[in-house]
Amino acid sequence: MIHKDVIIVGGGAAGFFAAINIAEQNPNLTIAILERGKEGLQKVKISGGGRCNVTHAEFIPQELVLNYPRGEKELLGPFHQFMTGDTIAWFENKGVPLKVEADGRMFPESDSSQTIIDCFLNEAKKHKIEVMYNHVVKAFEKEGVSWYIKTTEGEFTTGKLVVASGSNPKIWKLLENLGHNILNPVPSLFTFDIKDERIQDIPGVVAQHVTIKVLDTDLCSEGPLLITHVGMSAPSILKLSAFGAIELAERDYKFEIEINFINHSFQDCFNMLKEFKHNLAKKTVFKSTQFDLPKRLWQKLVLASEMNSNTRWADLNKQQLENLSSQLTQAVFKVDGKSTFKEEFVTAGGVDLKEINFKTFESKLHKNLYFAGEVINVDAITGGFNFQNAWTGAYIVSKSILE
Ligand SMILES: Cc1cc2nc3c(=O)[nH]c(=O)nc-3n(C[C@H](O)[C@H](O)[C@H](O)COP(=O)(O)OP(=O)(O)OC[C@H]3O[C@@H](n4cnc5c(N)ncnc54)[C@H](O)[C@@H]3O)c2cc1C
């Protein structure tokens, strides 16, 4: 039986960040990370397409929390303790400067997630944190005020147990056995599968600013839309997949969306089309793209409005004008399934937030049991917010363990 002052279950983003911060602030504590894999930080490695989108350049806590479909209310206090600016400073202090991209996402200047991994591994070594690979945690139990942990490679005891196991069903089961409520895990951040003539054969086309509603729900989002080989993606869709993670799972990912491609009302659009009919009378509708839409998308929507590629503006009847206005401002598409968004995905669900003290990230049910990262019922839209949750939780765990 090995005893450590602090044991961290999971050698991912949250586990390493917690361990390093605990060690930095109290070099006398013995700390071990128990990691089931033969390497840790595997998600960091593949994150952000191999570049690791570390955080997001949003510096107002009240604004930052809006990116968390689950955790918005609970993270406000924690973000006042540790958020984006602290993350940037933390990495910069370790010799890892971050840079910001036009959309606010922040990456290491190296554009390589390996820089983050190297930083964590070096820091762990420097602070003599024992990272025990191939240690699959099988059980943990309370023994008075301490904890007993059983792994495939041996048994441990500790005064402080930090669970940073990400979205691992077996660890959730162990926590359930301890009386914790685990909210049903479902995927978040996915793209929509859509088979429809209007988007057939035009993958790669981007509409810069659309509004999308999921019909028969309150779900709505705005932003860029990307047509893919199998459907639709980009921030407008990913936001819906995050905020609708539970509702869309309940519908088995079969639902309808309504897209406004041009952000004008049906009536305003109809009036504008009437002006085009007058001003562009001799031109074909098909060839005179309007509203800054990509040409190929415009042409698809024109053909879906009961006209052909030779129809001239002057020849449009009221019905055709209405059809085109409808395609541009309230086009309905049937979603039938989802696909993985390869740049980032995350699980909604996890330890019930009501059972966590957000001043310390300690369990309200069990003393000396702490959580950090994706294991809790917090998740965010794409853009670096999921890692920020891991850094913030892990940092506060480190503070509370010291106190
Ligand atoms: C492809 C992809 C790309 C992503 N890109 C980004 C991005 O760019 N920006 C962003 O903000 N978020 C991104 N995310 C989300 C982000 O990776 C997670 O939110 C984050 O990794 C959560 O950190 P964590 O430490 O809580 O969990 P994890 O990183 O999943 O780490 C948990 C660790 O616990 C270990 N473990 C689990 N069970 C046991 C057990 N029984 N015993 C021992 N060890 C165990 C696992 O092996 C793992 O190493 C991405 C996710 C994916 C899948």
Residue 403 has pLDDT above 90, yes or no: no
Gap from CA of 386 to ligand 1 centroid (Å): 9
Q: What is the mean pLDDT of residues 132-145?
A: 95
Gap from CA of 208 to ligand 1 centroid (Å): 31
Q: What is the mean pLDDT of residues 349-365?
A: 98
Any ligand 1 atom below 6 A from CB of 34:
yes
pLDDT tier at 144, thresholds 50, 70, 90: confident
Q: In the sheet that 55-56 helps form, which strands lie side by side, from edge to edge?
A: 55-56, 105-108, 98-100
Neighbour count for residue 85 (Cβ, 10 Å): 11
Gap from CA of 49 to ligand 1 centroid (Å): 14
Gap from CA of 399 to ligand 1 centroid (Å): 22
Residue 402 has pLDDT above 90, yes or no: no
| Cα–Cα distance, 361 to 382 (Å, whole number) | 23
Q: What is the mean pLDDT of residues 63-70?
A: 98
pLDDT single digits (tens) 265-315 = 999 999 999 999 999 999 999 999 999 999 999 999 999 999 999 999 999
For 17-129, where are the E strands, in sequence order? 31-34, 55-56, 98-100, 105-108
pLDDT single digits (tens) 243-255 = 999 999 999 999 9
Residue nearest to atom 30 of ligand 1 (CA): 166
pLDDT single digits (tens) 171-198 = 999 999 999 999 999 999 999 999 999 9
User: On the CB side of 24, how many CA atoms lie within 13 Å of its CA?
Assistant: 16
Any ligand 1 atom below 6 A from CB of 46:
yes
Any ligand 1 atom below 6 A from CB of 32:
no
